[in-house]
Amino acid sequence: MREVIQEVIPFLRELEIVYGVHFTQLHDERTCRIVLECIPFPQTLDRIQEKLHDVVREIPSRPPTTNVVVEKPSQRTRATLGR
């Protein structure tokens, strides 16, 4: 997210857009949404989207996380481990 802000905010200022961006993430989604805090003209929006694609393309994605549950050993396993 830091990389997006460092690249996009100066670009928005060059386009004379004083509004920023923020990020949202829904519980159902693994991705993060980049929200522009204004509605620019269509040509300007196209330029912003191109810039975002360039910036985001260079950010490595993280693999999905795996939940690991550790169970207590059963009586049979404890007996085997004790020998």
The pLDDT tens digits for 12-71 are 999 999 988 888 888 887 778 889 899 999 999 999 999 999 998 877 777 667 888 888
Query: What pLDDT, on a 0 to 100 scale, did the predictor assign at position 1?
Result: 78
- Give the chain's length: 83
Asked whether residue 69 is assigned to any structural domain, the reply reads no
- How many domains is the chain partitioned into structurally? 1
Asked whether residue 22 is assigned to any structural domain, the reply reads yes
φ, ψ for residue 23, nearest 5 deg: -120, 140
Q: Minimal CA–CA distance to 40: which of 7, 5, 15? A: 15
pTM above 0.85, yes or no: no
Asked whether residue 72 is assigned to any structural domain, the reply reads no
Asked whether residue 82 is assigned to any structural domain, the reply reads no
Asked whether residue 76 is assigned to any structural domain, the reply reads no
Query: What pLDDT, on a 0 to 100 scale, did the predictor assign at position 69?
Result: 84
Asked whether residue 83 is assigned to any structural domain, the reply reads no
Asked whether residue 62 is assigned to any structural domain, the reply reads no
Chain centroid offset of residue 83 CA? 50
